[in-house]
Structure 1
C-alpha cells in the first residue's frame, strides 16, 4: 500500500519539480530581459493551476487503476516538459544578466549605508529560500530512498506560520524591495526607490556594466521575481504533498496564497513600471583601466599643432617689420639662411594665431616617426611648454636676432594646420545599415580608424519577439574599405576633412518618437561646417519581432539645429586641455543633447600644443543583454583641464509599456 502510494507521489513530485526547475548557469547562454520573466511567471502559475486540477480530479485511494492514472500523468508531464524547457532557457539566460547588475549594485551600496544594509537583508532572505529550494531538488533526486515523513515534514515547515516559513520570507522580501502601501508604517524608502533615486542623482549614467539605468532596474527586479516564483512554487508543492498524504484538503489555503502572490506581483510591476519610466536608457563605455592607443582610443593627428617659425619666413618679402601677433593667418614662405627652419619638419599648410613668447629657447625635437614635432620647448625666461624630460635627440638652441638694428626677427609660436601623410583628419560619410532582409537591427556601435578614416562601425543582430535579440547572430559589420586617394572617392561626399574652419562635431541624442521604432542605420553628414549624426529608424512589431515594411517605412532622423539657427547649439569649450590619457581619474560625460565641440590643440604650457583633442574612444559600446535600440548618440566625456574623448552611446529600447501584470494568472 505504502509502496504504491510512494510511486504515485514520486511521479507527482517529479511533475512539480519540472514546473519549478532552478536556474542553470550556462556560460554561453543567451540573455533575456524582464519581459520573459513576466511570461515565465504566467506560465509557471498556469502550470501549477493545471497540476492542482490533476490532484483534485484524481483519486489516490486503493481502488485507483494505475494504468489510467499513469496515462493522465503522462499527458500533463508532456505539457509540463515543454513548459520546463522554457523556464530553464529563460532562467539560464537570466543568470548571466544579473552578474552585470551586481557590479553596479556593489558600487551604489558602498556610498549608501542604509541601502547596503537593506541589500544584505535581501541577500539573506534570498539565500534562505534558495537553500530550501535546493533541498526540495535533492528530495527529487533521491525520491526512491525518501520516507513519507521526510516529505511531510518539509511541506509542513514550508507552510507553517512561523517567522522563517517561506510565506513570511516572501512578505519580508516584498516589503523591503517595494515597501508598504501604508506610508505611516514604513515612512522610509524601499530598495527599488532608493536605487531609482541614486541613478537619477548620478546623472542617469551607469558605466562599465553595459546596462542602462532602466535595464539595471529590471535586472534587479527579475532576480527578486524569480526568487518569489521559486518560493511560491515550493509552497504550492507543499500544499499538494500534504493533501496527497491525507493531511487535509488545503484548497482554500492554496487559493489564498495564490491571491497574495498575485497581489504582490501586480503591485511590484506597477512600482517597477513607475521607476522604469523615469530611468535613463543610455549605455556608454567608461575609460579602461589602462589607455592603449589603437585598442581603446585613437587620435585625429596634426589637425592643429604648435609650430616654431621666425617672422622672416612668414612673409614673401623676408622682412621683420611686424611682430608675431600680426600674423593671424599666413604660411611658411621659405627658410632664411637655412637656420632652425632647416632642422625641423616644415609646416606646408596654414600658420595661425602666432604669438611672441621669448627671444631665445631650447627645443627638444620629437622622434622622426612621431606625429609630434616637439617634446618640449624651454624658453630662456624659464617658461617651459610641454613636459620636460630626457631629450633623446638632444636639445637645439634657437635664438632670435636683430636685423639692421631696428628690426627684431623673432621666433614666433604659431598653430599649424597642415594636411599630410601624418595628419589623420578624415571622417566617413557613407551610411552603415543593418541587414533588414534578415530582420537585423543595430545593437552596438564603436569608432574605427581604417586607412586613416574614422568610421562608426555597427554591431547588428537578428530581432526576435518581445524585444529579444538572437545573440548567435551578433556580428560587427565591416566598415567601408577605401582610401581617400582612391579613384571615385571624393571629399565632401565619401568623407569629410577636418580643417581650422571645419572642425566641429555635433553632440546629439537621436531617438524615435514612437515606441515601435528601432535603429537600423547610422551615418555622419556635414551641416554647415559641422559633422552631424543621423540615424535610420524602422518600425517593428513587438510581439512577433518582425520589422514592418523596412524598405518603405524606414526614415532618417537627425537634429538639424546649428549654432546660428533654430534652437541654437551650445559649444563646449576646452580650456587649456592636457592630453586625455594623462588624467588619473576616469572620464565622465560632460555634454548634453544639442551641443557641439571643436577639435583643437592641447595646452601650450602642458603639451606645447602638439596633440589634437578630443581623442576618439574606439571601445565597443554594447548592451548586455543585447536589445534593440530606440536611439543613438554622440557625446563628449572628460575631466576639467583634459581634452577628453568623443564616443558613441546607445539609447536602449523602452520596455516600460510592456511591463504589466499578466492576465489569467490566478484563475
Structure 2
C-alpha cells in the first residue's frame, strides 16, 4: 500500500471515521446528531473492522519505516476522532459523582442499602479509573504533535506509548480489560448460571431501593427511570472507551512488531458485544418497573417568589359585630346564624371604623368571646391582624409586640335583651391585595419549530398564577438540543385590561369556586408533552396537557398542528361511579413555619380546597396551601410524557401545591441485542 503525505495522511482516516460515524464535517465541527451508545458502539466496531482489514491487507513485514509511521499516525487520528464522538455522547447522559452521592444519601435509611451503596462506590471508582486512562491516552496523542509546522512531527517517545498500551491490554486486575470485567460483574452479574455472582445487578438493586424510598427521590433532579437510563449510558460509554483503548492498543502493538493480535482483537469484539447485550437487557428490565415521576423536595430555605408563591386574602379572618351584618341593625341572632352574610355598615363608628372593611362576603361566622384585645397588622401587609387576645385567655395568632398599638374591643347589650356580639368571620373579598387568579390560556411549546416541553414551574405575574414551560428543540433518538433550552415567557396581561375576561383568560377563586384537582396525566405511547393549561370543570380548576406524536428515530413531531391533542381527567366529585375524593388539610399553619420536609400526601383523582390558615395559630390570615415555584425540569433535560399536580406537606401545616413531570419511557427503545451483524461488518 502506498504511503500518503503530510496532512493528507491524517485526513484520510478522518474521512473514513466521518462517513462511518455520521460526521458532517471532517475538520472537527461537533456532530450534528447524537447517536445512542449501542448505535455508536456498532459504528465504532465497523470502523475498527475496516482498520484491521487494512492492516491485514498491508504487508507489514515489507513496509518501510515511513509507511509504518503513516499507519501509526492513522491509528492516532482514529483515537482523536472516536474520543470526540464519545465526549459528545457523554454530555447527553452524564451521571456525575455528585448525583450518585445524592442518590446514596437519599437511600441511606433503607435496610439493604449497604450492598447498593458499596456497589455504587465500586462502580464509580472503576468508571473513574477507565476515564482516567482514556484521558491519559488522549493527552499523549494530542500533546505528541508539534502543530506549529505544516508537517506535524510526532514528539512523544515510542516507548512511552508502547508501555501505556501494553498495560491497557494486560491480564492484570487493574488493566482496562480487568476493569471492564469488574464493571460488568456489578451491572449484570447473573450471566453465568450457578455462579456465586448470580443475583440482581446494580440496575435491579437501584430500582427496588428507589421504589422503597420514593418519597426521598425528589433530590435527584431526575426520575428514577431517567437516572437508570443515564447511568446505563454512562456505563456503556465507559465500556466503549475501554474497548476502543484496547483495540487501539493492539493496533499500535502490531505496528510496533510486538505480534499480530488479530485473534485477540476479534475475541475482544465478541466479548464487547456479549456484555453490551447483557447490560442492555438488565437496564431494560429495570426501567420497565421504575417510576417516571420527577418532583421537587422542599428547598433548604424558603424564598417568596423564588421557591414559592402564595395566594392572598382569599378567605381571611375578620372581626365584625352582629349589628352590622343585617340591614336592620339588630342583634336578635347569634354569630353562627351568619354563615353567609355581608357588612351593611358601621354602627355608631365603633371598631369597624378603625379597621379595613370587608367589602365582599362574610362566611362561617362564630362566637369566641365577647371582649378582646386586637393587634392590627401594618397597613401595607396582606394581613388584617397580627394577633387577637380574648378575655377568656384564648389567643389567635402568635402574640408578640404590637407596633400599631393594640385596640380594646368590647361587645355590648341592647335593652337588656339582645347581646350585640363581635363575631369572628371569614372575609371573601376581591381587591388590590387579594391575589386569587389563575391563567386559563394555553401554554404551548413552539411546535412549529419542532420544540417540546422539558420543564414546568408556577410563576406569579401581575397577581396571576401562570404555568410556565421550559422548552427545547427535539433531536433524533429522543435527544434534546441544549442550545435551544429556555423558559418561555408567560403572557404579560393584567386582569384590568379591556380585552381580558374572567372565565376566558383567567379564573377567579372565591368561597364557592376554590377547588383544584390533583391529577397525574400521562401521554399515550408514542406521544410527548408539548403544552399545558388550566381549565374549569364545574367549580374546579383542572389541569390539561397537550401531547403530540413523535418520530423517535428522526427526531421530529408528527404533524403537530393536526395530531396534537389535549388530555385531562374529567372526573368530578359528583360522578356516579368512583367520584373524585377531597383531600382535607386540618388546622393548617403557615407552610413555611415548619423545618420538616414535606411529603406527598395526595393521590391522583383527588381535589383540594384553597382555604385559610389555622384560626388559633395564625388568626386565619394566610391563604393555604402555597404553590411550590421551584422549577420541575429534569437535569439533564429529557423528553417528557406527562405532568401532574399534587399536594405535599406535614400534619398541622398547609403544605404546597406542587407540579410534577413524567419522563418519557425510553425502555421501549433500549435494544437487548447488538445492532450489528457479520453481514453488516463485511
Q: Normalising to structure 1: TM-score of the pair? A: 0.90
> For 1:358, what is the secondary structure of its paired residue?
coil
The offset of 1:302, in angstroms, is 0.8
Distance 1:421 1:537 in 2: 37
Aligned in 2, Cα 1:412/1:93: closer, same or farther, shift over 3 Å? Answer: same
Match of 2:368 among 353, 357, 360: 357
The match for 2:120 is 119
Distance 2:167 2:410 in 1: 93
Match of 2:382 among 338, 353, 371: 371
Aligned in 2, Cα 1:291/1:34: closer, same or farther, shift over 3 Å? Answer: farther
Distance 1:154 1:78 in 2: 17
Question: Is it true that 1:520 corresponds to 2:519 in the alignment?
Answer: no
Question: Is it true that 1:50 corresponds to 2:50 in the alignment?
Answer: yes
The offset of 1:367, in angstroms, is 0.5
Aligned in 2, Cα 1:129/1:478: closer, same or farther, shift over 3 Å? Answer: closer
Distance 2:480 2:30 in 1: 9
Comparing 394-403 with 183-192, greater Cα deviation is found at: 183-192
Preserved contact between residue 33 and residue 219 of structure 1 (Cα < 8 Å): no
Question: Is it true that 1:231 corresponds to 2:230 in the alignment?
Answer: no
The match for 2:39 is 39
Distance 2:578 2:241 in 1: 53
**1:595-636, Cα deviation, whole Å (9 max, x unpaired):** 111100000111111101111222222122222321122122
Matches within 5 A, 1:251-650: 251-514=262-525, 516-565=526-575, 566-650=577-661
> For 2:186, what is the secondary structure of its paired residue?
helix
Q: Where does structure 1 lack aligned partners over 5 or more consecutive residues?
A: 22-28
Match of 2:102 among 100, 104, 109: 104
The offset of 1:364, in angstroms, is 0.9
The match for 2:24 is none
The offset of 1:247, in angstroms, is 3.1
Preserved contact between residue 190 and residue 199 of structure 2 (Cα < 8 Å): no
> For 2:196, what is the secondary structure of its paired residue?
coil
The match for 1:91 is 90
The match for 2:26 is none
**1:215-267, Cα deviation, whole Å (9 max, x unpaired):** 11122222222222222222222322333333333222222222112111101
Preserved contact between residue 100 and residue 120 of structure 2 (Cα < 8 Å): no
The match for 1:651 is 662
The match for 1:25 is none
Comparing 250-259 with 137-146, greater Cα deviation is found at: 137-146
Preserved contact between residue 68 and residue 255 of structure 2 (Cα < 8 Å): no
Preserved contact between residue 204 and residue 280 of structure 1 (Cα < 8 Å): no
Aligned in 2, Cα 1:245/1:510: closer, same or farther, shift over 3 Å? Answer: same
Preserved contact between residue 352 and residue 415 of structure 1 (Cα < 8 Å): yes
Distance 2:481 2:253 in 1: 43
Comparing 247-256 with 492-501, greater Cα deviation is found at: 247-256
Aligned in 2, Cα 1:135/1:423: closer, same or farther, shift over 3 Å? Answer: closer
Cα RMSD after superposing both structures: 3.2
Aligned in 2, Cα 1:385/1:457: closer, same or farther, shift over 3 Å? Answer: same
**1:630-653, Cα deviation, whole Å (9 max, x unpaired):** 112212222221111112221121
Distance 2:400 2:501 in 1: 43
Aligned in 2, Cα 1:204/1:244: closer, same or farther, shift over 3 Å? Answer: farther
> For 1:651, what is the secondary structure of its paired residue?
strand
Distance 1:300 1:151 in 2: 66
Comparing 288-297 with 521-530, greater Cα deviation is found at: 288-297
The match for 1:663 is 675
**1:89-148, Cα deviation, whole Å (9 max, x unpaired):** 2234544x5366335334245443332222222233234333433443344334845555
> For 1:574, what is the secondary structure of its paired residue?
coil
The match for 1:59 is 59
Preserved contact between residue 98 and residue 219 of structure 1 (Cα < 8 Å): no
Preserved contact between residue 162 and residue 168 of structure 1 (Cα < 8 Å): yes
Distance 2:561 2:155 in 1: 63
The match for 1:26 is none
Preserved contact between residue 35 and residue 89 of structure 2 (Cα < 8 Å): no
Distance 1:34 1:116 in 2: 32
Preserved contact between residue 529 and residue 641 of structure 2 (Cα < 8 Å): yes
Aligned in 2, Cα 1:418/1:31: closer, same or farther, shift over 3 Å? Answer: farther
Preserved contact between residue 311 and residue 624 of structure 2 (Cα < 8 Å): yes
The match for 1:24 is none
The offset of 1:424, in angstroms, is 1.2
Comparing 57-66 with 558-567, greater Cα deviation is found at: 57-66
Preserved contact between residue 205 and residue 282 of structure 1 (Cα < 8 Å): no
> For 1:220, what is the secondary structure of its paired residue?
helix
Preserved contact between residue 367 and residue 393 of structure 1 (Cα < 8 Å): yes
The match for 2:150 is none
Distance 1:33 1:297 in 2: 38
Preserved contact between residue 32 and residue 94 of structure 1 (Cα < 8 Å): no
**1:509-544, Cα deviation, whole Å (9 max, x unpaired):** 222112x21122221111111011111111111111
Aligned in 2, Cα 1:628/1:100: closer, same or farther, shift over 3 Å? Answer: farther
Distance 2:381 2:648 in 1: 26
Distance 2:281 2:668 in 1: 11
Aligned in 2, Cα 1:656/1:158: closer, same or farther, shift over 3 Å? Answer: same
Aligned in 2, Cα 1:335/1:487: closer, same or farther, shift over 3 Å? Answer: same
Comparing 341-350 with 645-654, greater Cα deviation is found at: 645-654
Preserved contact between residue 589 and residue 653 of structure 2 (Cα < 8 Å): yes
How many residue pairs get aligned? The number is 649
